[in-house]
Amino acid sequence: MLNNETIIALATPNGKGAISVIRISGSNAIASTEKLFKSKNNKVLSQQSSHTVHLGYLLKNGNELDEVLITLFKGPFSYTGEDTIEISCHGSSYIQKEIIDLFIENGIRVANPGEFTLRAFINGKMDLNQAEAVADLIASENEGSHNLAMQQMKSGFSNDLKKLRGELLHFSSMIELELDFSQEDVEFAEREEFRRLTNTIKSELKTLIDSFQSGNVLKNGISVAIAGKPNAGKSSLLNTLLNEEKAIVSDIPGTTRDSIEDSLVINGINFRFTDTAGLRDTNDVIESKGIEKTKEKINNAKILLYLFDINDTDINEIKSSLKTFKRKDLSILLVRNKIDLKIQNKK
Q: What is the pLDDT of residues 148-160, one digit of tens each?
A: 778 777 766 677 7
Model-level pTM greater than 0.85? no
Q: What is the pLDDT of residues 328-341, one digit of tens each?
A: 788 888 888 877 76
List of residues 6+ apart from 229 with CB closer than 8 A: 278, 279, 280, 308, 309, 313, 321
pLDDT value, residue 342: 60
Which of 208, 232, 234 lies closest to 297, judged by CA? Answer: 234
Question: How many residues are present in the chain?
Answer: 347
**CA distance to 214, 225, 282, per residue, from 293 (Å):** 26, 11, 14
Distance of alpha carbon 321 from alpha carbon 308, whole angstroms? 11
Count the alpha carbons within 13 Å of 273 in the hemisphere toward its beta carbon: 23
CB 347 within 8 A of CB 337: no
Other Cβ atoms within 10 Å of 173 Cβ, number: 12
Bond before 253 cis per omega within 30 degrees? no
CA nearest neighbour of 124 among 96, 86, 155, 148: 155
SS3 107: coil
Query: CA torsion, points 109, 115, 116, 119, in degrees to nearest 10?
Result: -110
SS3 content of the chain, % helix, strand, coil (to 5): 45, 25, 30
The reported pLDDT for the residue numbered 188 is 62
**Sequence-ordered list of residues with C-beta below 8 angstroms from that of 225, at least 6 positions apart, any chain:** 274, 276, 294, 297, 298, 300, 301, 303, 304, 305
Ranges of the chain with pLDDT below 70: 1-3, 155-157, 182-189, 211-215, 217-218, 246-258, 281-284, 287, 341-347
Alpha helices in 39-155 (DSSP H): 93-105, 115-122, 128-139, 143-153
CA angle, corner 304, sides to 207 and 320, nearest 5?
A: 120
